[in-house]
Amino acid sequence: MSIHNAPRQYLNWGTSLGLLLILGLAVELLLQQYGLRQQQAEQQRLLAHANEVRAVLLGELNATLHLATGLATYIPAKAGRIDPAELEPWLKGLFQQGRHIRNIGLAPGNRLTFIYPLAGNEAALGLYYPDTPKQWPVIERIIASAKPMLDGPLLLVQGGQGLIYRVPVFLPDQSYWGLISTVIDFDRLYAEVEAVARQRGLSISLLPLDGALPQQSAEAEAINLVVPVAGASWQLQARALEPLQPLPLGLRLLGWGLALTVSLLIGLALHSQQRRASLLLALNQSQRDFLQAFERAPQSMALVDNRGCLLVVNQAFCRLLQLHATQLVRQPLEHFCVPEERADLLQHLAAIRPGPNRSWTQHLLDAHQQRIAVECSAAILGPVADTDQARILHIQDIRERQRLQRLQNEFTASVSHELRTPLTAIAGALGLINGGALGEVPPAMAELLQIAQANSQRLQALISDLLDMEKLLAGQMRFELREQPLWPLLQDAVAHNQPYASQHQVTLQLQEPAAPLSVRVDAQRLSQVMANLLSNAAKFSPPGSQVTVSAEDLGDRVRIAVRDRGPGICEEFRPRIFSKFAQADGSDRRQKGGTGLGLAISKELVERMQGDIGFDTAAGNGTTFWFELPVSTSRQESSTL
């Protein structure tokens, strides 16, 4: 089984590993998606904030530039004449409104003749633009295009960086008048915009574009915006002050941990499912094996429920009753039993217990109503089909055995009958010879004749035992049951058997019961039982010991016990002791004599007198054989009154 399971197991764990990789990949994809989303959100935030910063920058610049544009309409209105006394308070007002204006200069005919405020800007006064090669090309372009333009940032003569907003002024007759230059403090403006950007978590840089396309930053997370203002274009580059946090390691670990757990759980589930499947398979296989063995067994077998209803029957059982399985299954077993034994069968079925059970004989009826003698043995099997405790019945056809037994008994009986008459004659003749009835026996013959007489007596005893047994088995032994006092019967038995016991140097001792006891027995059969038990006790007792005979009142029964101090009966022999021809040791026959029939006959006799026989023994501590007989009916009647 394990050989078949190994590739399956590899497959299961391979599946789990594959699943782990797929789940891990999914985790990585999800994390990537999550990271991208985060990045996109960050970009959106950056863009929104960069736009805000650009709006601030544009707002600041445009506000300032509009002031200068307003001034450009003043000069044509004055036909190009500049009256410093009139202009100064006005410029002062403009200067105070334009927060980033560093100075405003008027350059009629391209010469800077008026600067407000003059203080700090004296160096620039009188500057003639065509003489400044750095600025003049730009100024020329402004004049040519007649459009104001913002230039810079430039290093200012006065120091620092500035943006210069130059507005070309044309008189009403379209003749060129000169330039108005507004110098914006770039450093201050930039610092202010940068502060706004910092508040929004951005770092910015501002680059002039000079007509070029906005440069794409090398960094993906930087935002580039064009800032178009008055003929110039700048690029506002913004990036987050704090870089985007990489995805936390914990999240990745959690994802992989989950993937691992799920894969492991699925792997375990697959593993246990496969184990269950293979166990089921093995179970099915063993059930099939059992059913096959059951079905094909040469002995008849059947499963019955606790009410004796047949659940399953095997082929041998069907053959035995010559019926088809369908005619047997779900039928009570008693239907196939001879009517007079049905109650017995039900009793036997009800008495089945877990563990070893005794077998019993029964007569079944086959399809042709023929009686079949069977020996049944049973065991509790456990739950089968819908039944809690099914029983398995083993039914053995004993007709042949019984036939052979009968033949054997008949043979033994006829041989015994044939032997009895000549043996009686031989024993009688030997008795007469040894008794000296025919004259004195010559000493040379005496010993041999004694042995011959003893052996013929033993043969007579054997034949008498065999005939008794045969009579008992054939039910031909007559019993004359009579109520009688027990004490004289026991006294007789002891007296009759003492001579035999004395041969073994054993004394028989009778213990008188406390009160007189009566039993209902056949006196001759009781003395036969006593003779057997006493002779056995004497035979197996050590010389010089005592054999005790006692009687005990058990209420409705009387127990008669014969106790010896012999070697006891060994464990293995105990179950067979009441069987015919049973002897513990084959050498007993030679050493102690006997046929092995005595106890079998005693058991039959006691049972025919409605009694029980048994024994208690302990190795090395002697044996007590006992039998119990029903007390006399008058006693029973008086005790029930």
* Residue 623 within binding range of ligand ADP, rule CB under 6 A: yes
Instruction: Tell me the window of 298-306, 406-414, 500-508, 593-601 that interacts with ligand ADP (CB under 6 A).
Output: 593-601
- Within 10 Å of residue 548's Cβ, how many Cβ atoms? 17
Nearest approach in angstroms of CB 599 to ligand ADP is 3
Backbone φ, ψ for residue 273 (5° rounding): -65, -40
Nearer to ligand ADP, 162 or 598 (CB): 598
Give residues 502-541 in contact with ligand ADP (rule: CB under 6 A).
Answer: 532, 536-537, 540
Contacting ligand ADP within 248-267 (CB under 6 A): none
Degrees (nearest 5) of the Cα angle 170, 175, 178? Answer: 50
Q: Which stretch binds ligand ADP (CB under 6 A): 146-154, 407-415, 481-489, 589-597?
A: 589-597
In angstroms, the CA 163 to CA 150 distance is: 7
Give the residue with the Cβ less far from ligand ADP, 374 or 577. 577
User: For 607-628, b where at least 16 C-beta lie within 10 A, e where not — what string?
Assistant: eebebebebebeeeebbbbbbb
464 binds ligand ADP (CB under 6 A): no
Give CA separation, 281 vs 274, 289, 383, in Å. Answer: 10, 12, 19
497 scored as a contact of ligand ADP (CB under 6 A) = no
Q: How far is the CB of 463 from ligand ADP (least distance, A)?
A: 14
Q: How far is the CB of 634 from ligand ADP (least distance, A)?
A: 33
Question: Which residue's structure tokens are 């399971």?
Answer: 5
Minimal distance in Å, beta carbon 366 to ligand ADP? 38
Q: Which stretch binds ligand ADP (CB under 6 A): 69-77, 287-295, 483-491, 581-589?
A: 581-589
Q: What are phi and psi of 231, to 5 degrees?
A: 75, -5
The token duo for 325 is 């399985």
Contact status: 632 vs ligand ADP (CB under 6 A): no
CB atoms within 10 A of CB 20: 19
Chain centre distance of CA 580: 55
User: Could you tell me which residues come within 8 angstroms of residue 332 by beta carbon, excluding any fewer than 6 positions away?
Assistant: 307, 308, 309, 310
**626 binds ligand ADP per the rule CB under 6 A:** no
Q: Report the alpha-carbon distance of residue 205 to residue 399 in Å, rounded.
A: 119
User: Least distance (Å) from ligand ADP to the CB of residue 569?
Assistant: 5
List for the chain the helix, strand, coil content (%; round to 5): 50, 25, 25
Cα R_g (the chain), whole angstroms: 66
Considering only residues 598, 603, 613, 631, which one is a binding residue for ligand ADP as defined by CB under 6 A?
598
Please state, as a whole number, how many other Cβ atoms lie within 10 Å of the Cβ of residue 226: 13
Q: Judged by CB under 6 A, which stretch of 50-58, 323-331, 413-421, 583-591 contacts ligand ADP?
A: 583-591
Q: How far is the CB of 628 from ligand ADP (least distance, A)?
A: 18
Torsion, Cα 92 121 118 70, to 10 degrees, reads -30
Site for ligand ADP contains 582 (CB under 6 A): yes
Binding footprint of ligand ADP, residue count (CB under 6 A) = 20
Residue 421 buriedness (CB in 10 A; 0-12 / 13-18 / 19+)? exposed
Per rule CB under 6 A, is residue 153 in the interface with ligand ADP? no
Nearer to ligand ADP, 196 or 582 (CB): 582
* Cα separation of the two ends of the chain: 73
Based on the shown chain and the rule CB under 6 A, indicate whether residue 588 belongs to the binding site for ligand ADP. Answer: yes
Contact status: 583 vs ligand ADP (CB under 6 A): yes
Q: Figure out which of the listed residues 594, 609, 611, 627 binds ligand ADP, where binding follows CB under 6 A.
A: 594
Task: Specify whether the CB–CB gap between 379 and 368 falls below 8 A.
Answer: no
Report whether 324 contacts 366 (CB < 8 A): no
SS3 83: coil
> In the beta sheet, which residues pair with residue 234?
208, 227
Measured from the CB atom, the residue of 311 and 561 that comes closer to ligand ADP is 561
Nearest-approach distance from CB 564 to ligand ADP, in angstroms: 5
DSSP 579: S
Both structure tokens of 416: 């015994």
Is position 584 an interface residue for ligand ADP (rule: CB under 6 A)? yes
Say which residue the tokens 């184990």 belong to: 275
- C-alpha span between 27 and 19 (Å, rounded): 12
CB 563 within 8 A of CB 624: yes
Closer to ligand ADP by Cβ: residue 362 or 416: 416
Q: Is 423 in the site for ligand ADP (CB under 6 A)?
A: no
Stretch that binds ligand ADP, among 183-191, 287-295, 490-498, 596-604 (CB under 6 A): 596-604
Q: Does 98 bind ligand ADP (CB under 6 A)?
A: no
Does residue 53 belong to the site contacting ligand ADP (CB under 6 A)?
Answer: no
Q: Which residue's entry shows tokens 């007993």?
A: 588
Query: Measured from the CB atom, is 215 or 621 closer to ligand ADP?
Result: 621
Sketch the per residue contact string, 540 through 569, with ligand ADP: x for CB under 6 A, - otherwise: x-----------------------x-x--x
577 near ligand ADP, rule: CB under 6 A: yes
Is 595 a binding residue for ligand ADP by CB under 6 A? The answer is yes
Q: Give the nearest residue (CB) to ligand ADP.
A: 594
Cβ 458 to ligand ADP, closest distance in Å? 10
> Minimal distance in Å, beta carbon 510 to ligand ADP?
17
Sites of contact with ligand ADP (CB under 6 A): 532, 536-537, 540, 564, 566, 569, 577, 582-584, 588, 594-600, 623
